[in-house]
Structure 1
Amino acid sequence: MHTEADSCINEWEAFCDELKKSGREILQAGTDMDEVTRADGLRYLGRLMRGGVEKFVEYGDPADPMAYKIYHEKIKWGFDNPDSIYNMATISGDRDYVLTGNRGTVNYFNISTMAMGVDGRAAITSFINDTDMTFDENGNFTLAISSTPKDGDCLLMSPDSNAFMIRQTFNNRAMEKEVEATMRCTSPGAGNGALEVDAVVDNFRKAGKFFTKTGKTFLDLTHRLMNHVNEMPEADPVYMKAMGGDPNYAYFWSSFHVEPGQALLIHLPRVPACDAWNLCLYNYWLESLDFHKATVIINKQNAVLNPDGSLTMVVSMEDPGVANWLNTCGHTWGNIMMRWTKPEEVVAPIPELVQLDSVDWESKLKKWV
């Protein structure tokens, strides 16, 4: 006779079996990489598992939405942005919500709803910039989120929406105050707070599928980027839209490969006015390198421009003794992403691989011709 206890045991075993099978497939993709990348990969599996459980099991109730930080120093995947905070909540397009809070002093933020799958892809279903919202003299705001129009500021989502996000982008995380917000569901039928076995079983299934499918999505992207080693082309806007990329960003990306004694120089002939920009290093698994331990990101706040207004960044294993060094943290292989936020002009980065013992810094620390 089937019991609820059996369903819980069976789901736990199925969840563990999926982690075992998919984890092996993900790690096998990195077996030819260096030791530090293989170590990253094992840690990455733990982060993917934790990310899936947090998203679907801990924060998976659309009747009780909580805007938690989906990425931070210890959980990240899929080209996370260390200069951003992503507050995400589970919602349902057939329910109404109210978001109240204070905008803080963050340089730029937006709020969106999405139709998000378990494979890391997300179609934006509604979107509002901070500049289009109403704030009182203290920076407080109220925003309705619904599939039907409401009075005041309203984020009008489509019925298939299942995720909500506040995306905040900082120039100086230490000095700017983040958005503080609380979300509540105003639709009836929230229940009495008791967990239901069927709901938890379903959420564990989603967490397992997230582990498998999100892992595959970003592994496929890594392989795609390895067709552009040390090149920095512009990211395909259609692809970025399908992944839930910020419509106010322009993205450039590439794999990088630098051996000891080499450096990848990334040059901007000019830095246009913009809300924000950054360039960040990532490992093979598309996690930002450990930004709390080393300088792996250059942005509008900390970049040192050349005397003529151009900018030269240096990606290498060893400190070259010049400004704008990005530390690969022992990685010879990895990935790079550059983001422009609302730029007056999109300037493409120019990469060049050089030998550190013979590079002509006088010519490289000015506009390249």
Structure 2
Amino acid sequence: MAAEKLAITVVQSPAVIAAKATLKAKWLAAAQTTGGVPDEALANLDEAVDESVFAFALSLASGNANDPKVVSFLAAPHNWYGMSVPGSRTTFDNPDTLYRSIPVDPASSYVITGKVHGQKPVDFNFSLYSSTNATLSNLAGDQLGTNADGSFFINANSSPTGGGNQIQLVSGAASIFVRDTINEWGVQQFNSLAIKRTPSASTQSQSADALATTLAATLQTSAAAAPFIAYNTLAYAQPANTLPAPSLGGTGGRLANQAASYAAFQLADDEALVLNVNLGGAKYFIAPAYGRWTITTDYINHTQTLNNTQAVPNPDGTYTFVISPKDPGVYNWVDTAGLHQGFLNPRWQGLPATPASQGPSASAQLVKLSDVRTILPATTKYVTAAERQAQLAARAASYASRYAP
């Protein structure tokens, strides 16, 4: 909470507000080179810029390697403990994942303490990042040793021979990026987490004014636009409405042991994409739709994302989703929230150590909305208007518990 309060103050600085205009212009110019900018995307541009800037501010508010803090970001706007917190979504945020970042220095030693609760995440990872978000190592949840009550500690230091839970801080390490992913909202609990430098070091926190000066300077650089344009390039590497085979992550900040695919969609009101998915033994899958600026919009009140628990599987364990701006009357509807152009980033996590006979895969077929029912499996679950409202009400209620005091 302290970091969020500080970040809110920082983004209200006149210098940061002025720098946003530069960032916005860069985003527009970058988007014009990859797919263009429809009018509906312009309506979401200010929101996307604001959230990206707040994410930068949260990163600065996370302290430094001498006095690190565990700070959550890449989240939708929320209210908790009487505080209204802006959104901090960037570059294909996942509403099923709690993202946390911790600054570290290879010359220092740290102890990370935490607890895995009874209803644990379906998948969680501790990724060691360089200053450019290259993955240097990854400690997966199934590699983590815990006590009977779920508590654990991780030694993070430069030692190459540490026992138990350890993250070796190799040369170039700059942060530990933590992902806890749930597929049962309101049931599964994110892990508790804290960090201490050992031994502790005296440090002087930077003022909000100093952080604002740093943030304003960052927003003036080309680096602030790099994540956005890099992912646009991935999505537009093939024609819109076509989905390339999934690949393992590890570059550009992607989770190293995750399979994912990137694609652009372009749909008219009377069109839909039918997405057929094979989990390939993965514990977790999500089918999300994003706007032109590579972030979600309102996934709380729309089925803008559906995971393998929220959706209904086919009898053979595969999944079929319908992606469209208008409601097709199908339970597994990935609602683009009215957007006709944007991006898809299906992803698979918790992949088996021994690959399944058929690995993760997905295919997309562009169809007329009126023809959707003719190509869906016979076992497809359909919904009435009242059933859709019940589905959405249950979704919003399950999400609300995330920020309950």
- Output one character per residue of 1:138-180: Cα deviation in whole Å (capped at 9) or x when no partner: 0000111011244542211213111112211112121001100
Report if aligned partners of 1:252, 1:348 keep a CA contact under 8 Å in 2.
no
For 1:351, the aligned partner's letter is: A
Q: Distance in 2 between matches of 1:72 and 1:288?
A: 10
Q: Distance in 2 between matches of 1:194 and 1:226?
A: 42
- Residue in structure 1 matched with residue 402 of structure 2 by the alignment: none
For 2:26, the aligned partner's letter is: E
- Residue in structure 2 matched with residue 132 of structure 1 by the alignment: 143
SS in 2 for 1:216: helix
- Residue in structure 2 matched with residue 276 of structure 1 by the alignment: 284
Alpha-carbon distance change, 214 to 101 in structure 1, aligned in 2, over 3 angstroms: same
Listed as ranges, the matches of 1:17-166 within 5 Å are 18-29=19-30, 33-56=37-60, 58-73=61-76, 74-104=87-117, 105-117=120-132, 122-148=133-159, 149-166=161-178
For 2:25, the aligned partner's letter is: R
Q: Distance in 2 between matches of 1:197 and 1:47?
A: 18
Runs of 4+ in 1 over 6 A off after TM superposition: 196-199
| CA positional deviation for 1:196 | 7.5
Report if aligned partners of 2:291, 2:297 keep a CA contact under 8 Å in 1.
yes
| CA positional deviation for 1:190 | 2.5
What TM-score, normalized by structure 1, do the two folds share? 0.85
- Residue in structure 1 matched with residue 394 of structure 2 by the alignment: none
Query: Identical aligned pairs, as a percentage?
Result: 21
| CA positional deviation for 1:234 | 2.9
Decide which of 167, 173, 195 is 1:183's aligned counterpart.
Answer: 195
Q: Distance in 2 between matches of 1:68 and 1:258?
A: 37
Q: Distance in 2 between matches of 1:308 and 1:61?
A: 50
Could you tell me which runs of 5 or more consecutive residues in structure 2 were left unpaired when the two chains were aligned: 1-12, 77-86, 380-405
Alpha-carbon distance change, 310 to 141 in structure 1, aligned in 2, over 3 angstroms: closer
Alpha-carbon distance change, 235 to 275 in structure 1, aligned in 2, over 3 angstroms: closer
- Determine whether 1:234 maps to 2:245: yes
SS in 2 for 1:357: helix
Report if aligned partners of 1:250, 1:346 keep a CA contact under 8 Å in 2.
no
Decide which of 184, 198, 201 is 1:172's aligned counterpart.
Answer: 184
Q: Distance in 1 between matches of 2:231 and 2:122?
A: 30
Moved more, 247-256 or 126-135: 126-135
RMSD, aligned α-carbons: 2.6
Could you tell me which runs of 5 or more consecutive residues in structure 1 were left unpaired when the two chains were aligned: 1-11
Q: Distance in 2 between matches of 1:289 and 1:196?
A: 32
How many residues align? The count is 345
SS in 1 for 2:111: strand
SS in 1 for 2:320: strand
| CA positional deviation for 1:64 | 1.6
Decide which of 331, 340, 346 is 2:359's aligned counterpart.
Answer: 346
| CA positional deviation for 1:307 | 4.1
Q: Distance in 2 between matches of 1:106 and 1:315?
A: 26
For 1:355, the aligned partner's letter is: K
- Output one character per residue of 1:28-53: Cα deviation in whole Å (capped at 9) or x when no partner: 45575333311211111111111112
| CA positional deviation for 1:194 | 5.0
| CA positional deviation for 1:65 | 1.1
Report if aligned partners of 2:131, 2:173 keep a CA contact under 8 Å in 1.
yes
| CA positional deviation for 1:364 | 2.4
| CA positional deviation for 1:311 | 2.4
Report if aligned partners of 1:278, 1:338 keep a CA contact under 8 Å in 2.
yes
- Determine whether 1:316 maps to 2:327: no
SS in 1 for 2:126: strand
Alpha-carbon distance change, 99 to 234 in structure 1, aligned in 2, over 3 angstroms: same
- Residue in structure 1 matched with residue 270 of structure 2 by the alignment: 261
SS in 2 for 1:175: coil
| CA positional deviation for 1:221 | 2.5
| CA positional deviation for 1:124 | 1.6
- Output one character per residue of 1:79-120: Cα deviation in whole Å (capped at 9) or x when no partner: 111111111111212111101110122222111221123xxx
Alpha-carbon distance change, 198 to 14 in structure 1, aligned in 2, over 3 angstroms: closer
Q: Distance in 2 between matches of 1:362 and 1:15?
A: 52
Q: Distance in 2 between matches of 1:300 and 1:80?
A: 17
Q: Distance in 2 between matches of 1:349 and 1:262?
A: 19
What TM-score, normalized by structure 2, do the two folds share? 0.78
Report if aligned partners of 1:80, 1:288 keep a CA contact under 8 Å in 2.
yes
SS in 2 for 1:320: coil
